[in-house]
Amino acid sequence: MEGSSVTYPQLFYEAKCLKVLQGVPGIPAIFWSGVEGEFNVLILEFLGPNLQDLLSVCGGRFSIKTTVLLGIQILDILKCIQAKGFVHRDIKPENICLGQGVNSGKVYLIDFGLSKRYLSINDAIFGDE
């Protein structure tokens, strides 16, 4: 939620990005976005803890195996969102979450408020193929 009177609203832009990215592995499902009273609202899939919280629980360190498994999933997600023409621009442990229940081992990327669309050099030269 964000106040509807904020100077630089980001929630609707984030919702627009997430709608384009739906179906990409590691992108949370978007259920609704709109205005409710004095707030802009975005309702996403309920996720588990973020990596910053997990680091605190683990004493500030992940095992090598955990680090590699997380890294592979994070890189796969970034590859997919960049293939869709987006750059996240705010990668940090607080913006990487784990799923819940059957998706508890799955990594999700959140907070696309600072992300940008881009045109790759290949798209600029050859067009969208």
Active-site residue list: 90
Q: How far apart are CA 66 and CA 88, in angstroms?
A: 23
Query: Which of 56, 51, 102 has its CA nearest to residue 73?
Result: 51
Cβ atoms of residues 1 and 38 within 8 Å: no
Return d(Cα 80, Cα 127) in angstroms, integer: 19
125, 88, 80, 107 alpha-carbon torsion, rounded to 10°:
170
